[in-house]
Amino acid sequence: MRHLGLLIALLLAAVEARGATVLVVQQAGVEAYAEAVEGLAHLFGSKMQVWAGVAGEATRASLARTVQREAPRLVVAVGRWAAVMVRDGDLHVPALYAMVLDPAIDHLDSAPFVGGITLAPSQHDRLGALHRVAPAVHRVAAVVAAGQGEVWARARLAGDTAGMEVVILPFTVAALPKVCDAVVAAGAKAVWLPVEGGLLSPAAFDYLRRCSVDHHLPLLVPTASWVERGALLAVYSDYFESGLLAGEMAHRWLVGGQVAFGPPARAALAVNRTVAAALGLPLSPEVAREALVVVDEGNDE
């Protein structure tokens, strides 16, 4: 984890600090959120206060007391749990959110929120990366949870703008053993397991990884760790980078600038060179330079 000492110092200083410009709210004990907080601290330093909580009856009251004591100009909620806490806390302070997977589900597009960035890069960015790594692929199957097909109709538009046709395959967990047959029957030349599709689990990944190997299909996933385990590529939000982006957005708002609701402005790419070679897809120098993580026979570069 980057700059762990800095984060610990911030948390220890929380008892003593007063009058922070920005109050960051996070769920305690989640490493990904802690990395994002480090990104925020990189920009705000001593002007930032961190409040970390866990579920419990006294949690909301503790947050309210902290807000009253610190009187921050802005609250930044990191993660869904923190965003819901801020939404329901009646804190009377403007807020931003970061690292929230699907803000629409939790109605985070209105007061107290003035802006925010989601955890997932845009669909266009993800499919565009697949096109750069596997330029011959023009038809991709997006495997999502049953009942998500209507929601995922918008993926067709994203696919069109990335030069791809997206076939949406809704599945229940129980039906996952048949997912590869459906992918092949759909004539897909690549498979996509999206972070917001509702089927993000090791079991779903394992079925699709086997399908990728058996049928020589590129597999697009939302996390670099699954690229290390055999997927071709991932397009994702780096956690520290997410914190930096949230900090930049907070700074713009504090100086009177415009902020918005949307996906991260930047996305990280991970690719597996060994898998690419097995699929007959040698990585171009441009892709290798673009990738934050390149996996080669189990080793990260």
Per-residue model confidence (pLDDT) at position 7: 47
Per-residue model confidence (pLDDT) at position 160: 63
| Total Cβ atoms within 10 A of residue 173 | 12
Mean pLDDT across the chain = 86
Residue 212 pLDDT > 60: yes
Rounded mean pLDDT, 125-130: 91
Rounded mean pLDDT, 19-40: 88
| Angle separating helix axes 4-13 and 31-44, nearest 10 degrees | 80
Q: Let me know if domain 4-119+239-262 sits in CATH 3.40.50.12780.
A: no
CA angle at residue 12 from 86 to 78, to 5 degrees? 25
Residue 169 pLDDT > 70: yes
Contact 20, 48 (CB under 8 A): yes
Which CATH code, of 3.40.50.2300, 3.40.50.960, 3.40.1590.10, 1.10.3720.10, is assigned to 123-236+267-300?
3.40.50.2300
Per-residue model confidence (pLDDT) at position 10: 45
Residues of the chain with CATH 3.40.50.2300: 4-119+239-262, 123-236+267-300
Predicted model pTM: 0.73
Local confidence band at 147 (pLDDT 50, 70, 90 cut-offs): confident
